[in-house]
Structure 1
Amino acid sequence: MSRADLARRQAELLQALLANGPAPDGFDASRLRVEAAVLRRKHGRVLAYQRPELAEALGERYGPLFAEFSAGRPKKATERSGAYADEFATWLIEGGHLPKPKRRLADRLRRR
């Protein structure tokens, strides 16, 4: 297998795991869906650790809302977690899940 073929296959697998893409040839689609759900939940826990105020403000709604957000907007490998968390917070505010902050979003959400 050439490097280009390997890179293409890896990209297909990442698309399936992180962005609800189709299962690449040779992979079990149902197992990939399970693994993708596990990865999204894990990433949600990491983000909740980084931005506990979001998880606290949302309570029981945090998990389902993060799953909805991450399914439509997966984190890119080169993207910093803080920027992704800020985008999630913006999505929550724009969707009416959190009130619009009185101060700038970055000032309100970043840990001091």
Structure 2
Amino acid sequence: MDNDCLFCRIVAGEIPATVVHETDTTLAFRDIDPKAPVHVLVIPKAHHQDVTAVANADPKAAADVLAAAAAVAEAEGLLADGFRLIFNSGANGGQEVFHVHAHVLGGRPLGPMVSR
């Protein structure tokens, strides 16, 4: 655990979150500033800075995050119409909290999110 990490503190129960899915290794909770009707963050419980770090250090944890994201999409009723799964990595990639997390977004048609 990184005591300065917002998501580590959520995992530890120090900061409240609306949890929608949990496994031994992952936690999924609603984003506090949703960009779509469904906007859930899926994180590994262990601290890894970004998607590259978790993929290199613990490929099973990376796979667990993907499996949890799929479970969230199914539970939220997104499979029929589709959903977007996003990992922002690094400051230029739009990452704001430096604990790897996947965004599960859906519930309406999603337009392009990357500008030139």
Could you say whether these structures have the same fold, taking a TM-score greater than 0.5 normalized by the shorter chain as the test? no
Which structure is higher in strand share?
2
TM-score range, shorter chain: 0.3 to 0.5
Question: Normalising by the residue count of structure 1, what TM-score does the alignment of the two structures yield?
Answer: 0.36
Structure (1 or 2) with the larger CA radius of gyration: 1
